[in-house]
């Protein structure tokens, strides 16, 4: 593509297949304790 740089492709839909294992960190346990921030966490699904 000449005019587009894709920073992230179509990923959300794909995660419906193998997602939901629940091994990832609970968001409030990370740093915040006052605001929910989920998008910055990493997936820990070993079978992803």
Instruction: Please give the residue ranges that form the binding site for other proteins (CB under 8 A).
Output: 1-13, 15-16, 18-45
User: Residue 39 CB, nearest distance to other proteins (Å)?
Assistant: 3
- Nearest CA-CA partner of 37 in 25, 45, 47, 48: 25
User: Residue 33 CB, nearest distance to other proteins (Å)?
Assistant: 7
Cα 21 from Cα 1, distance rounded (Å) = 36
Tokens (6 digits) for 34: 């006052």
User: Residue 24 CB, nearest distance to other proteins (Å)?
Assistant: 6
């Amino acid at each position: 593509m000449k005019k587009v740089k894709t920073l992230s492709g179509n990923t959300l839909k794909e995660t419906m297949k193998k997602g939901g294992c629940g091994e990832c960190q609970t968001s409030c346990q990370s740093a915040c304790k006052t605001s929910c921030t989920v998008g910055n966490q990493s997936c820990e699904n070993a079978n992803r």
